[in-house]
Amino acid sequence: MALLATWRQPYRALVGVATAAFFVAILPGNIAQLTEHRDAFGLNTDTARAIRLLFQPVLVLWALIATNAIPARVSVRSLTQRRHARPGLRTMTACPVKQTRQVQPVST
């Protein structure tokens, strides 16, 4: 409910970080519930508890991305520029420079 209440508010990124921190904080309890075979919250099989653990990182990322706490998209160009950049050299700009050809004079 907190995510919906602050959706277009200036504090939505803070709420996203708080929600992600909550999901991370309950992770040890979920692990303990799986390892100790405890039934709770309708999860009465180890398979159900394991599936919940697999989706825990998805919930953390969802809370951060949905509230713009981290950017949802990273451009492919920025990733390739970072990967191919060499230390001490400039990286290419996002706006390509128009290249012109010089015409050689024709000798007769």
The confidence score (pLDDT) of residue 3 equals 59
Distance CA 80, CA 76 (A): 6
Q: Which of 52, 23, 25 is nearest to 40 (CA)?
A: 52
Q: What is the dihedral of CA 44, 46, 48, 50, to 10 degrees?
A: 150
List per-residue pLDDT tens for the chain, 108 residues long.
565 655 567 788 888 899 999 999 999 988 998 898 888 888 888 898 899 899 999 999 999 888 888 876 654 555 556 555 555 555 555 555 555 666 666 766
The confidence score (pLDDT) of residue 26 equals 92
> CA–CA distance from 7 to each of 12, 61, 71 (Å)?
6, 16, 16
* Whether the model pTM is above 0.85: no
